[in-house]
Amino acid sequence: MIELGLADGSLIDELMELTAQSIGHLEIQEHFNIIKEIGRGKYGKVLLVTHRFRGTPMALKVMPKASTKLQGFLREYCISLHLSCHPCIVGLFGIAFQSKEHYCFAQELVIGRDLFAVIQPKVGIPESSVKRCVLQISSALEFIHSHGLVHRDVKPENILLLDSQCCQVKLADFGLAQKRGTIIRFVAGTLPYMAPELCAVALLDHQKEVTAAPLSIEPSLDTWAFGVVIFCILTGYFPWERCMGSDSFYQEFADWCTMEKEAYAEEDIPPLWRRFTPEALEMFGKLLALDSIKRSTVGAVKAYMEIDWLKKENGNQLQRTGQGKIHSTGRGADPLCRASVHTGEVSAAERLFRWTCEITKSLETSKVTVCLCHSPLNKKKTKKEISVGIKNVVLLHNQD
């Protein structure tokens, strides 16, 4: 058992140095039976394997040396190993090695789906399941933050389900994790989960540099992403595309946040936030505080577990807004479509959970016509929606 020790993340540096000195050379097929590939991304791939001598099933993460820096591999492995004793974080076997062409490490095999796969568009998942998931992920994030680390990639795709009711979930993928206080000068593109201060240092298409000051990696980035995840799984929508002034949905939310809360009326609340109870809006206000210094810790959600988050109408919780048909993505029979890094242009994967329409008072009781197009989004004219796909075995990584 590794002693978790220091809260400033400095133990990671020691683990990386020791691992670099001891990492062995072996070929995958000499020690593992490859059953099948269960995940693939920019980082490489994940293989379902069994140990040739012990028969233990594992998920083997395989990263090409041609596109992976040794320090990046060591950091992800050591952070994952450092935190894997928590029951709500994917475990590791302590097996790391390099082959002629790859860096590899073995993870606990989680057979099931990720959280993203069970979200119904425009509906989300039941509030009771959301709360079970939120409690576990907040515990995992508190644990991560208490050891001086920041996950940096909190999203439904990285939350793995061991059952369909979210009774047991695990946080995965530490490919973007960093020590608290690490300075970054820019990131490539944006995601809906990224906090405003992180979007400020995003390098979009046709940009050669960013004008914002370098950013210190802090737990508040995870808090913001966590708040967006809660919104997504409760509603089946993204609240916005990216946290920039050019995004009308984000700007509407930001304007509402700056209002005097004692003075605003129901109609001042952005339309798809009106489904939440006052207590839930208070919780979101803490998790999604525009000023990162005023943002709460992820543990703030614990105070809101015993109250309703969604308003009720005629005894039923409101988990739908608007009407409309779900159209095909135009990609044949494959509906699988997940949020990807936004670089200024709209791709099919980025449309998942986009707002169905610009909801105004005049549209709240109107039937919405749904259509798809591949042009950049004009939120005042374009109405879009894409259904959710399902994967059976998920152990994915989305490293830039």
Residue type, 387: S
Nearest to 110 by CA among 44, 31, 46: 46
**In which residue are the tokens 């928590």 written?**
86
For the chain, what is the largest distance between any 2 Cα atoms, rounded to a whole number of angstroms? 69
The residues annotated with a catalytic role in the active site are 153
For the chain, where are the E strands, in sequence order?
24-25, 32-41, 44-51, 57-64, 92-98, 102-107, 149-150, 159-161, 169-171, 178-179, 183-184, 187-188, 202-203, 215-216, 312-313, 316-317
> CA torsion, points 311, 316, 319, 323, in degrees to nearest 10?
-120
Tell me which amino acid residue 391 is.
Answer: K
301-320 b/e with 16+ CB inside 10 Å = b? Answer: beebeeeebbeeeeeebebe
Task: Specify whether the CB–CB gap between 180 and 8 falls below 8 A.
Answer: yes
- Distance CA(192)–CA(327), nearest Å, equals 22
Contact between 378 and 367 (Cβ < 8 Å): no
Could you tell me what percentage of the chain is helix, strand and coil, using 3-state DSSP and rounding each to the nearest 5?
Answer: 30, 20, 50
Report how far residue 256's alpha carbon sits from residue 203's, in angstroms, rounded to the nearest whole number.
Answer: 27
Summarize the annotated binding site for ATP as residue ranges: 61
On whether the CB atoms of residues 41 and 377 are closer than 8 A, the answer is: no
Q: Can you tell me the distance from the alpha carbon of 338 to that of 192, in angstroms, rounded to the nearest whole number?
A: 12
Residue 331 identity (one-letter amino acid): R
CA distance 144 to 305: 21
